[in-house]
Amino acid sequence: MQEQPYMRQYDMKMKRMGEQMRKDEQERGQAFNELRQMKRIAEKTNVRVDETLANKRSNSEPHLIENQLSVKESSNKKLSEKDVLLDNMRNEMDNLRSSEDNAMTLLSDYKRRIQELEIELNKTKESEANLFDTLVMQTKQLEQNKILLEESKLEITSLEEKLMTVQLSASQTFQIPGNE
């Protein structure tokens, strides 16, 4: 099967897209790992803050408690932002996978269609070759018929001349006895 240049270009684009997607997946994986680590750290910090708050509540120091609460709220806010970012990255990854699947389906459909067209082209070429062979054979038959026609015309002319000669000699034969 001959591969068309546009199909090779399309294949190369698909390979580049696949490589870019793998690279993006690696980067996202690293980002996911970093987010998980940050989430663990935030959770540990929250636990420590909760423990410290529990200890400080007994000491009733409002300033430290407020400070620790603001640290906890800040950590929770960062954690929420990271969760949103993680969800967005997952959605983007799903979209990329879906796009890749669609592109691969299109590529498969195009390759199948090209094969069908190539088969149709081969059938057309075979049909044209058969028609050409038939035309050549008919042309040869026509040439033979022309030759036979010419030979028949020559034979008819020859027979007409013989007939005239016979008629002329017959008329001369009939005139001679009549002259006597």
How many separate helices (H) and strands (E) can be counted in the chain?
2, 0
Residue-wise pLDDT tens for the chain (180 aa)?
455 777 778 788 888 888 888 888 888 888 778 878 887 887 877 777 777 766 666 655 556 556 666 777 777 777 788 888 888 888 888 888 888 888 889 888 998 999 999 999 999 999 999 999 999 999 999 999 999 999 999 999 999 999 999 999 888 887 755 554
DSSP three-state, residue 21: helix
Residue 96 to residue 88: CA distance in whole angstroms: 12
Cα first-last separation, the chain: 97
Question: For the whole model, what pTM was predicted?
Answer: 0.43
